Amino acid sequence: MDSSLDNFMCVALKLTEEAGKIIRERIWEVKQDVQTKSHIHDFVTKTDQEIEKLLITGLNSKFPSHKFIGEETTSAGVKPEFTDDPTWIIDPVDGTLNFVHGYPNVCVSIGLTINKEIVLGIIFVPISFMMFTAIKGRGAFLNGKPIHVSKVSDLKDALLSVEFSGAATYKERLSSHVTHLQTFLSQVHGMRSGGSAAFNLAMVALGGADCYFEAGIHIWDIAAGAIIIEEAGGVVLDPSGTALIPTYV
Ligand code: IPD
């Protein structure tokens, strides 16, 4: 058993808890600092940037040789390299739109890759104090208790989680909503949309949702969730149906 992973987890958990405290303190404040990124429905706040800095600075001080891929650093124009080195993949506030509106499905999501394989994941939902964790080969946990994906194997018995595209134009958003509903609604028990990819993935790991589908997602949205689901006994596939291989382009 690799004890260095325990040390990585321990350090990352402390920082995640600090990050969660900041989110709890600010979620229902009126946000004065909301900026748009790639389009008019894609937001970033000072809290996203501040938490990313807190996590990267904290991890870097303990593990100076490790690399980082952070959503906000990348959005600000830094193009990280994805190498075999230990690499922390960070979404400081997953569900920024929820955070801006005070909708409580907001997560801190942190994955660690070594040799390009995801070996550790943390998803923290700070409003409800749900800490999801996994280390490769050792199972998945919610607040320290083992969790498992559901036993449902047929879509007709499933609660399906999806994210509707938050694209820039009404036409694109409508098309995404309609396509999702037309494709899935007649086939499942029900559909949910949590507004945070990390939250949706955590729900699958917990067995609360039976599956989750999203197109056009980024590695920082799913790195932590992918290992947590796999360690909870589930599978994470790319749209071609093959196993997810973390890439950063
Ligand atoms: C987004 C959220 C959203 C999902 C998007 C993500 P962000 O992450 O997880 O639910 O549909 O694909 O980019 O921007 O809030 O960190």
**How high is the pLDDT of residue 246?**
76
Say if 2-147 and 155-231 have the same CATH topology.
no
Distance 214 CA to ligand 1 centre (A): 10
Question: From CA 130, how far away is CA 141, in angstroms rounded?
Answer: 10
CATH 3.40.190.80 fits 155-231, yes or no: yes
**How high is the pLDDT of residue 55?**
98
Question: From CA 109, how far away is CA 95, in angstroms rounded?
Answer: 10
Is the beta carbon of 72 within 6 A of some atom in ligand 1?
A: no
Q: Which residues of the chain have pLDDT under 50?
A: none
**How high is the pLDDT of residue 241?**
84
> DSSP letter at 155?
G
**How high is the pLDDT of residue 38?**
85
Question: From CA 67, how far away is CA 80, in angstroms rounded?
Answer: 9
Q: What is the dihedral of CA 176, 37, 40, 215, to 10 degrees?
A: 0
CB 120 within 8 Å of CB 90: no
**Residue of 177, 196, 218, 220 best suited for mutating to test ligand 1, as the one with most atoms within 8 Å of CB:** 196
- Residue 2: exposed, middle, or buried by beta-carbon count in 10 A (0-12, 13-18, 19+)? middle
Question: From CA 242, how far away is CA 81, in angstroms rounded?
Answer: 24
What is 2-147's CATH superfamily?
Fructose-1,6-Bisphosphatase, subunit A, domain 1 (3.30.540.10)
**How high is the pLDDT of residue 1?**
59
pTM: 0.96
What does the domain layout of the chain look like in residue ranges?
Answer: 2-147, 155-231
pLDDT tens for each residue of 98-136: 999 999 999 999 999 999 999 999 999 999 999 999 999
Of all atoms in ligand 1, which is nearest to the CA of residue 93? 16
Is the beta carbon of 96 within 6 A of some atom in ligand 1?
A: yes
ipTM of the complex: 0.96
Is the beta carbon of 196 within 6 A of some atom in ligand 1?
A: yes
> DSSP letter at 243?
B
